[in-house]
Copies of this chain bind each other. A is one copy, B any other.
Amino acid sequence: MAIKVHGSTFSTAAMRVFACLNEKGLDFEFVPVDMRSGAHKKESFLSLNPFGQVPAFEDGDLNLFESRAINQYIAHTYADNGTPLLYLDPKKMAIATVWAEVEAQKFDGPASKLTWELGLKPLLGMATDDAVVEQQEALLCKVLDVYEARLAESKYLGGDRFTLADLHHLPTMSYLMATRVKACFDSRPHVSAWCADISARPAWEKVVAMKNNQ
């Protein structure tokens, strides 16, 4: 039975799942959700995600939501397909999980707020709140200082190879690369090299092309 992703090509959470499926080389059906008409708040969508947010995911009779949980499922269930996005060794796996949690708990907050203020509000004709930008940029810089030290000793955040811990950064990072916040990445050499490396992955380039072709 087919894999379906209900979402939007502009949604960072949906892009996170597309990237994972592409890394695994899995075919999937993209089901666009018309968020402008509020389709994500209607009963038919709420049965797939009770929080009324994209993405929602189906693999046969299994229905999941929350992008990071969906990617965990994909990485475990399709472990033998495409890029191995996890470690089998329990200690290596634990360390990769720490850095995946760092993305979710430390990076995503400021990165998502900056994506909204600098990446999406201008597209929607809304005014950027400079005070929010200043505050969140300072928070993001502190996180990137820790990343710089980590990436000086490890090629990827989770260890010696690309895992979900890296992949989960791509959607917000990609939006931020088109804003002034790019300088925060560029000024840290190991962060900058890591960012260039993971952004050039063909699986991610396919996600960007999907967004640009909408």
Interface residues, chain A, with chain B CB atoms under 8 Å away:
50-51, 62, 64-66, 68-70, 72-73, 76-77, 90-91, 93-95, 97-98, 100-102, 104-106, 146, 149-150
Q: What would 27 A/B residue contacts be, using CB atoms closer than 8 Å?
A: A50-B146, A50-B149, A50-B150, A51-B102, A51-B146, A62-B91, A62-B95, A64-B94, A64-B95, A64-B98, A65-B98, A66-B97, A66-B105, A68-B101, A69-B94, A69-B97, A69-B101, A72-B94, A73-B90, A73-B94, A73-B97, A76-B90, A76-B93, A76-B94, A77-B90, A104-B104, A104-B105
Min CB–CB distance A121 → chain B (angstroms): 20
Min CB–CB distance A190 → chain B (angstroms): 14
Min CB–CB distance A151 → chain B (angstroms): 12
Given B66, B97, B100, which contacts A102 in the complex, CB threshold below 8 Å?
A: B66
A62 lies within 8 A of B101 (CB): no
- In the bound complex, residues from chain B placing their C-beta under 8 Å from that of A97 are 66, 69, 72-73
Q: How far is the CA of A65 from the CA of B98 in the complex (A)?
A: 6
